[in-house]
Structure 1
């Protein structure tokens, strides 16, 4: 019997994904000059031949002055049009063409880190302030060492002015236009993991009392304006998705989050990816300050954010949902689809170890027992074990898999972490 993972999925914009398996976004750390360099293109060409239903890029920053890492590709200046910026479009077209060489739609994840821009990331200078909806600093913990790590990693954020807000919205729109002109099939707005869109959405980090804060609806205005302005300048068939956090909302704020999701659904988002975590509490990497207890039924499954996704599905059955985080087996991915928790399964770390992982999962001659790729945690160096586990562990995981992506680009064998 064919796997439900092999079913095509048609998005509201008309884009058809040939199956339900998506190569999820991961940090590549391969753009030393913040352009889509040849090694990055080479890595994605490998994934293009992997049987994926869609390919999501790692972070593409909308402002070269404010980046999540020093080695992300980014928009350097205001984008005008394909004629005025012909060389720039050609550069990004090479990237888009490599991703889609074998017909797989590629979606560019576009991002602004806001207060999570490291001191060494971006062209603004190590001591310049970061941008944020409100001047709420990052807090890794209450201990002296955690406070020191936070001060060394990030400068103090400044509250964005109305002009700042307008400029950053324009940068998101410009980046999306560039991605469309370069030939990508769509963009995903990164509204999770504590980045700027997430900072606007969250009442923890958005303390504003103007048009962009004070209520769940006003906190959503920033991303809704990005979405509406982008729709006006890209083709109707160009996909616009969003990645949202599930793990950072308490029961007290749960309905506020559902209100914002309703607004996004009504605004015509093409798909919503459910993830979770921030730099302060990196659940997306399988680490958390204090892991929440799970029911036996949920614990037996693979997805990190399954219950949240199922609740969104119950309220918005028409919304195309992608669930990312923790999938390692065909059985686990099929269970999420069959339970109605999601339409698309996002796969990250296994995609690095085996860039053709979908071919294994979709091969009917391979048993469920064999259709899997279990992965150990990356060993933490002994000399860092006195540091906070939830921070060092997540950083170690991200660094390890970035190194494997770099091996993939060189045509080398990628390796799963050993015990």
Structure 2
């Protein structure tokens, strides 16, 4: 029987993805000038020939002063139009063309890190504050060492003014217009992992899901006005535990986004404070159920609940997929329409072809991956921070290797 992974998926905007496997967004740490570099393009050209149904880029920051990492590509100034900024469009067109060289639609993930912008990331200065909906600092733990790490890594955020909110909205819209003019097939708004578009940290705002969603909805509405109707606009959201106090509030936000006509929604999870998207969590975090643990997907239960409430919403589920069987199970269980695959794609850019090839036996249609080893001194440091950081660094190094044509190395099994 043909694999459901090979089925095409049509988004509401009309964009057709040739199959259900998406190369998920990963930190490349390659753009040392904060612009698309030749090494970055070389990596995406490899993925473009990998049989993926869609390619999601790593973070493209909307403000070069507030970066998720020092080596993300970013918008450096206000974008006017393709005539005024023709050189800029040509620069980013090389990126879009590399991603789509072999016909795979590419989605640019656009982002503002908010309070999670590291001191050394961005051009605002080491001591300048980060931006956030409220002045709540990063909280990576209660121990003296964890508090010290937090102070060294991040400055305290300042509560955004109305003018700053409006400027950030315009930066997202400008970035979306640039991506459309450069030839990308769509954008994904990164509203997960604790970044600026994720849920505000202030308790007062948590009681009003409509207000929490307004920021994203305004970006969505304004962007729709300035990009082609066939240009996809998706969003990445964090999952929420059924038992959490914010579960129904999260579902309210999802309904608002679905009603606004989002083209697809990617379910992920975690933040720098609780990095579940990397397979790590704080010691006091609630465990996943035995049923979810038995599956590969990290956020399966939440995705199935969203599917039940919004059967027409195109869902992408990302995090933990390693085998054809696991990906097919998520599709056949009706948990999602698209399967996002990250770390295996960094080791083998043609991993999608392996899963789609019916001639590959089931036992070989996958890639088991161990946790990345950490230095001996890491035993004295917070495991949820050091482990997640080691994973990000390790796989970004593999992306750099594949870009240079050097054999990648999977973590030892």
- TM-score interval w.r.t. the shorter chain? over 0.9
Query: Residues 329-408 of structure 1: matches in 2 within 5 Å?
Result: 329-408=323-402
Distance across 1 between alignment mates of 2:251 and 2:221? 20
Residue 17 (str. 1) matches residue 13 (str. 2): no
**C-alpha distance in structure 2 between counterparts of 1:382 and 1:418, whole Å:** 16
Contact conserved, 1:51 with 1:358, CA < 8 A, in 2?
Answer: yes
Give the conservation status (yes or no) of the 8 Å contact 1:134–1:207: no
Report the alpha carbon displacement of residue 208 of structure 1 after superposing the two structures with TM: 6.0
Equivalent residues in 2 for 1:216-231 (5 A)? 216-231=209-224
Structure 1 segment 259-298 matched on structure 2, within 5 A:
259-290=252-283, 291-298=285-292
Q: Deviations over 1:129-177 (max 9, x none)?
A: 0000000000110000000000000000000000000000000000000
Q: CA RMSD in A?
A: 1.2
Residue aligned with 1:220, SS: helix
Q: Distance in 2 between matches of 1:176 and 1:323?
A: 23
Cα deviation, 1:15-56, whole Å, max 9, x if unaligned, reads 000000000000000111100011000000000000000000
**Of 307, 310, 317, which residue of structure 2 is paired with 1:313?**
307
Task: Find out whether 1:150 has 2:138 as its counterpart.
Answer: no
Q: 1:385 Cα deviation (Å)?
A: 1.6
Alignment of 1:233 with 2:229, yes or no, is no
* 1:230 Cα offset (Å): 0.3
Pairing 1:142-181 to 2, within 5 Å after superposition: 142-181=142-181
Number of aligned pairs? Answer: 412
TM-score, normalisation: structure 1: 0.97
Gaps of at least 5 residues in structure 2 are none
Distance, in Å, in 1 between the alignment partners of 2:43 and 2:152 is 32
The TM-score normalised by the length of structure 2 is 0.98
1:365 shift after superposition: 1.2
Matching residue of 1:206: 202
Counterparts of 1:59-98 in structure 2, within 5 Å, are 59-98=59-98
Show the counterpart of 2:125.
125
Q: Of the candidates 238, 242, 245, which is equivalent to residue 238 of structure 2?
A: 245
* 1:258 alignment partner, one of 247, 251, 255: 251
Distance 2:292 2:389 in 1: 26
Give the Å deviation of 1:250.
Answer: 5.0
Distance 1:116 1:246 in 2: 19
